Amino acid sequence: MSNAVMPVDELNRNVPPYDHNPSAWSQRIPICILAFVAAAISTHLSLFQWGLIESAWDPVFGDGTGKVLKSPTAQRMYGILGIHDAALGVLAYLGDAILGLAGSTRRWQYRPWMVVLFGIDVIPLGIVSVVLVLIQAFIVGSWCFLCLVTAAISLILVYWAWDEVRVSLTYLWIVWKQNRDRRILWEAFWGYRSAPLDHAAETLLSRSAN
């Protein structure tokens, strides 16, 4: 299998159906910055939930944050998970940032497993954030300002990350359609290079952008 290093302009080719490269640094750096911001906010909330600080900052809802983070619902979640939800948020957002920084600008082909793992971290986190907001509204009856900020960030991350996940999954689907071979598909998932896999990538790249 070939491991030849490709020119930078080849790594940065636009990938249909988009008119950009979803693995480009210009796409991933904003995701990483936002993820670090969300991790910092979640750290503050986590410190409050663990009782290491006396109050959580909330310029809008006052003691609403305390009511949400110390609510019976939050305590039940802690009892089930063994860790506070804000602390889980810290780990998840740091995972987003680390996975966002890893790999080349053509990792949609050379590291599909990494892109899929990135999507598994980002997309469910966005769904969980929406669920937690609904819990604030319909169960707890109070609002947490910083929780709403991190929920908004989660949804933005889903929006920004989806194109890269879609492209990687499309590449793997083309590999399967062209070869119908689980071994070749497995090699594609782990980023190996071969003539059939490069052909599948070129098939994707030759499509017309929407």
Residue 1 domain-assigned (yes or no) = no
Q: What is the pLDDT of residues 75-121, one digit of tens each?
A: 999 999 899 999 999 999 999 999 999 999 999 999 999 999 999 99
Least confident of 39-43, 62-66, 187-191: 62-66
Q: Which residue has the tokens 């082909």?
A: 109
Least confident of 8-12, 104-108, 165-169: 8-12
The number of domains in the chain is 1
Confidence (pLDDT) at 210: 56
- Which residue range forms the structural domain that includes residue 157? 18-161
How many alpha carbons lie under 13 Å from residue 25 in its C-beta half-sphere?
A: 4
User: For residue 64, what is the domain's CATH number?
Assistant: 1.20.1440.130
> Does residue 32 register a pLDDT over 90?
yes
Residue 167 domain-assigned (yes or no) = no
> Does residue 1 register a pLDDT over 50?
no
Residue 141 domain-assigned (yes or no) = yes
Q: What is the pLDDT of residues 193-210, one digit of tens each?
A: 999 999 999 999 998 765
The two three-digit tokens of residue 118, written as one number = 């990135």
- 45-to-61, 136, 140 alpha-carbon distances in Å: 15, 15, 17
Residue 133 domain-assigned (yes or no) = yes
- 204-to-104, 154, 166, 191 alpha-carbon distances in Å: 18, 29, 12, 16
The two three-digit tokens of residue 204, written as one number = 């994707």
Predicted TM-score (pTM) of this structure: 0.88
Q: Which residue has the tokens 């709403």?
A: 148
Residue 7 domain-assigned (yes or no) = no
- The DSSP line for 60-86 is TTTTHHHHHHTSHHHHHHHHHHSS-HH
Helices 182-189, 145-179: axis angle to 10 degrees equals 140
Confidence (pLDDT) at 2: 47
Residue 10 domain-assigned (yes or no) = no
